[in-house]
Structure 1
C-alpha cells in the first residue's frame, strides 16, 4: 500500500526515540547510518509491507529523536534502542537491515543481543580494519576529521565523497540537516569508520546473517569490506541493486532482492 505509516515513540535511556512502521507480518527494522535519519527508507516501505511489518526510526540525538545532552556514539546503546522499539511494538524478535554505519550497529547487535534477532542483512558496513589497506583508511579517517575541524561539514563531506562510487546518475536522496551532519562528524564518524565488532562472536551466537553490496558501488572501500565480513562469518554475500543508498534510489528492485535474501536466510535456518 502507499506510504502511510503509523508514527510512534518510546522513551529509552534518556531519549524520546521516534519511529514509524507499516504492514503486517514479521518485524523488519531498517537502521540508518551516518546522519541517522530514517526517512531515507520511506520509499521502500510500500514494496515490503505485504511481507513484513516494516519499521525505521531516527537514531538517538538525530532529527526528531533528541536527547538533552549529546554524547559520543555508543554502539551497544544504539542496539538497545532497537530492542526498545521491538518491545514497544510487542515483539520478541526482529529482523534488521543496517546500511553503512547502521550496518556496524547491526553487527554489534548480533554480537551483544542475538536473542532478539531473527535475520540480519548488513549493507556496505565500513569495517575498514578488515581491509588489506586498513592503514590507509585509518590515516584517511583522521585526515577527514582534520578537514571537518578546520573547514566544517561541507568541506568534510566533499572530501569524504571523493571515494564514494555509483552516484553519477542517482536521483536526489534524503539529506540530513546541518546539525545531524555535525553530530555525525563530531560524535560518530570515527567509531563508524575504524571500529569492527567481533565477527567471530556472531558465528558463535548462531545469528542468521548475510552481507550485501550494491552493484553500482563497484570496488569502493565500503563494498570491499563485505568480502572479509562474509569470509569470517561464513555467511552469504549478495549483490543488490544500486549504490550505497540503493534502497532509496531504486526501491522496487531493491525490495525484490531483499525478499529473496530473507528467503535464502530462512531456508538456511530451517535446514540446520
Structure 2
C-alpha cells in the first residue's frame, strides 16, 4: 500500500472511505456527565444529542493517546499522513505528533507527517481528500506535504449554530448573552482564523438570515472557487444542508459540493441543527 491517511474522529469520513484500507479514523472520547462515549462507528447521534440536552454539565472531549496514533501508523504504507483538529482547539495534534516521534524511534526510515488542520469537522475531510488526490497523481511524499500545507493555508471554515447551549455551558458565551440571543433568535455566524481559533464574523436574527450571511462570507473569502471543493456538514438537519448546497451552486462556480452528517465531536460542538462549511 503506497499511502495511508489517519484522521481523528472530528473529521467526517466519506462513505467510500469507511471500507478503504487507505483511511483510518482515530476516535476521540466524548464525556456527557459521568458517561464516556467512544466516537467511532458505534456513535449514535440522536441518542447523544438527547443526553447532551438533558445534562446540565458541558459535554467534553478527550483526544486519542499517542499510543493510539502509533498503532494507526504501524502499517505497510510507504507514506503515512495524519490529519487532526486545530492545535488551538484540541490536544489531538500534539498527541499525533508525539505518536509520530515514538514511531520513528523504532522505524527511523518511516515517512510520517502530521497535518494541523487549523480547522475541524468537514475541514479535516477536505484536507484528507486533498492528500488522496495528490497521492493518486503519483506525487512524492515531500510534494504531497508541501502541496497540502499550502492548501491548508488557504482553507476557510464557517459555521452557524441553532443552539447556543454548548457554547454557554463551556463558558464561551455568558448565560445572560446566551439567554438574550435565544430570546431574540440571534444566530452568530462564526469562522476560523488562519491560526485555527474561532471568532464571530457576523450575526443575524433568525437562522435563515444567518445562513444567508454565511453564504455571503464564504463567497467573499473564496477566490478561484471554480477549482475548489466545498463541503457542508450538518448536525441532524439534512434539509437545511440541502438548501445551503443549492445556494452555493447558484451563486458560485465550484468543482464539487460534498454534504455529510456530523460525527461525534462535531455533533457535540455544532449541536442539534448546526451547520459547518469549509472550502
TM-score above 0.5? no
- The TM-score normalised by the length of structure 1 is 0.31
Judging by fraction of residues, say which structure has more helix: 1
**Structure with the bigger percentage of strand:** 2
